Amino acid sequence: MANDARLRMSYEAFARAAAPVQGALAALGKAVDDAGLDKAFTELIKLRASQINGCAFCLQLHLNIARKLGVPGEKLDLVGVWRETDVFSPRERAALAWTEALTDLSDEAARAAAAAALPEHFTPDEILFLTVAIGTINQWNRIAIGLSFPPPVPKRAAPGPA
């Protein structure tokens, strides 16, 4: 587009220019990790919120991380349609419902139903940190979308001799 009025900034430029903000958001993520929620599990939540919000940067970033953590490909492929498949555990399903309810705040009934299901699968502390994880990825999505961060394309090995 010749007259593209979107703001454009790389993640690296953002991290340099807004180091205190980047550091604070990173600290929230570390607090969730330190609280004991499984990192592979929280990557699914980050993927789902990023899909809903349409954040290409966060979606690619968290796909890259999830792959490195060994999240099964079928979960990565199907997280957007998790209700239609049986590859997710009841705990994961409860977390994904909570993720959707907190990412799209327009459906109060869905939020109430998702909240009611949480105590069956999570301790009160886990619910707190799960909620923080969802809030944090939603904040990152808004920053990355607002500043049009380009997706972090994973480096591919150069093709070998044929």
Structure confidence by residue, pLDDT tens digits, 125-149: 999 999 999 999 999 999 999 999 9
pLDDT grade, residue 162 (50/70/90)? low
Q: Is the pLDDT of residue 47 over 90?
A: yes
What domains appear along the chain, each with residue ranges and CATH number? 21-146 (1.20.1290.10)
Q: What is the pLDDT of residue 22?
A: 87
Residue type, 69: L
Indicate the pTM of the whole model. 0.88
Give the CA dihedral 31, 56, 151, 158, nearest 10 degrees.
Answer: 110
- pLDDT tens-place string over residues 64-111: 999 999 999 999 999 999 999 999 999 999 999 999 999 999 999 999
Per 3-state DSSP, the chain is made up of helix, strand and coil in percentages (nearest 5) of 70, 0, 30
* Percent residues over pLDDT 90 in the chain: 79
